[in-house]
Amino acid sequence: MRELIVTSLTVNGQLRELAIEPRETLADILRDRLGLTGTKVSCDAQVCGACTVLVDGLPVSGCTFLAVDAEGKRVRTVEGLATDGVLSPLQQAFVDEAAFQCGFCTPGMLMAATALLEDEPHPSRDQVIHGLEGNLCRCTGYEPIVNAVLAVANRANGANGANGANGANGANGANGAADRGPA
């Protein structure tokens, strides 16, 4: 006998209602029930951050967050970052800086960085480094990821914000995405 719990949640702005087994994780239902396979599961132990999604604005590990606990909550995934086919400034910065290689950590990294910037729009390099410490990337060595986040932060600051010293790439980033709307 499988107990199913009818759960309503908003995923990337769309209200969804699903009958969910209690054991199913948010990553399970996003991937297997809603076809949102951008969210990836790697360590399955809340260490690597590949499955990071936002629930009511907070980053959580989709691999260990019970889907039934998303009842009534707003869930955001990598698929919800771009609007009308236009990349978010952070996504664009990831493209510009090549802040990915294999791409398996990227959805989680983008969500973690999105939460970071929503929480602190003007982070220092040190804040970015510490804010993303819980998201692993095995390909890049992190430098381009940190630069991409700082590029967006510096753009939000104006080209010569408080973090100008950190943002060697800020100017390039700003040019690259100047017409893509506010950060």
Residue type, 40: K
- Identify which of residues 158 and 175 has a Cβ nearer to another protein in the complex: 175
Site for another protein in 13-42 (CB under 8 A): 21-23, 25, 31, 36-42
CB of 25 to another protein, least distance (A): 7
- Identify which of residues 122 and 130 has a Cβ nearer to another protein in the complex: 130
Count of positions on this chain that bind another protein (CB under 8 A): 75
Q: Is there binding between residue 6 and another protein (CB under 8 A)?
A: no
Question: Which residue is it, tokens 């990349």?
Answer: 87
For residue 173, give the H/E element and its range.
helix 170-177
- Identify which of residues 18 and 105 has a Cβ nearer to another protein in the complex: 105
CB of 145 to another protein, least distance (A): 8
- For residue 108, give every residue at least 6 positions away whose Cβ sits within 8 Å of its Cβ, in sequence order, or none: 39, 40, 48, 49, 50, 51, 52, 53, 78, 135
Q: How far apart are CA 71 and CA 24, in angstroms?
A: 13
For residue 152, give the H/E element and its range.
helix 143-157
Position among 94, 152, 157, 183 found at the interface with another protein (CB under 8 A): 94
